[in-house]
Amino acid sequence: MWTDVAIVNDVVFRSSVDYLTGLGARFVPLPLTTRMISSPGAVYGRERISYTTDTSPIKLAWFEGHTAFLAESSQIYLELALLVDQADAVFCVYNSFRKEEADATHLPEFRHVEYEGHVQQARNKEIALGLLFRVVRDLLEHPSGLLERILTREQLDGLATLEQRVFDIEFSEALEALLEETGDERYRTFTLEHFGSPEEVLVTQIYGGLVLLNHFPLLEVPFYHAISDTRGPADALVAENTDVVWPGYREVIGSGQRVGSIEELEEKAEIFNLPRDDYAPYLQSRELAGYQESSGFGMGWERLVQGVLHMPFIYSAVPFPRTHLGLRP
């Protein structure tokens, strides 16, 4: 088993790098310690507000009494990396950390493949799906017959036809489908509050394939998401974002367009209670002469491997998983 899992992970890495560099994206080495986490509402306002669905990052005691966090996303730093001259697209392969207990689909330490480019969200979605399907194709076509040793014929056929079973829907449509399927009145409310792991799995079962969920409630996703021109239910504000949910499993890609104007970003900073000293470089980036709007995505490495291999537990996706129960190899 572990030999095949090791090969799968090697293919994920090679395919991701080949695909993104082939698009002209530049690899960027980034720090793992930061003050600018991507979901600050979950930390700085946790006792008073709950604007994001992400959990808290891991806090560190840094030098001279300072506090730092282990990075839970590279997105903010990738945006700043785009400010370098001639950088139109950048990416990284990155360890991420969140202070959440391990379960079937969560690890407190996991890996992201993350991309940021001077593109609108429509093109960003195309690039994200292109990466996903490139990895799947390379795994299916591996000369060793890799997946044939692991999966059933039905599972192999499902992977081979995945590109023909993509359902691009509004988040509001997903709630309507859940309401019709379950009769649960909670799904009448346009909110992420009642949309968790079971709902993600059920939506993919209802539609029968890979589901792209678009336009989440604006104030229930991280602060950097731009407002979409699409109007939500009852004219609710929605984000220009998309989550890609793997059939029978969970989100494997989160993507979105970034707030472009300093005025809108300042307003978001106020709403999300951003510590201004910590986020000054990010806020100031919108005022620089070379700034251009961007979009980006993060692909969860272990989540993808878990879905491709039909694994019941995410900690089987990598050779040295980190859980909340121990740090031994």
Q: Tokens 């980190």 appear where?
A: 322
Provide the CB-side half-sphere exposure for 157 (13 A, CA).
3
282 Cβ contact list (under 8 Å, min separation 6):
36, 76, 79, 80
Residue 326 Cα distances to 293, 317, 321, angstroms: 42, 17, 10
Alpha-carbon dihedral sign for residues 306, 192, 94, 63: negative
Residue 244 Cα distances to 130, 161, 212, angstroms: 12, 17, 5
Tens digit of pLDDT at every position of the chain (329 positions): 899 999 999 999 999 999 999 999 999 999 999 999 887 766 655 444 444 556 678 889 999 999 999 999 999 999 999 999 999 999 999 999 998 899 999 999 999 999 999 999 999 999 999 999 999 999 999 999 999 999 999 999 999 999 999 999 999 999 999 999 999 999 999 999 999 999 999 999 999 999 999 999 998 898 999 999 988 888 899 999 999 999 999 999 999 999 999 999 999 998 888 888 999 999 999 999 889 999 999 999 999 999 999 999 999 999 999 999 989 88
Give the CATH architecture of domain 2-316. Answer: 2-Layer Sandwich (3.30)
Helix (H, G, I), strand (E, B) or coil at 110: strand
Domain range annotation of the chain: 2-316
270 Cβ contact list (under 8 Å, min separation 6):
none
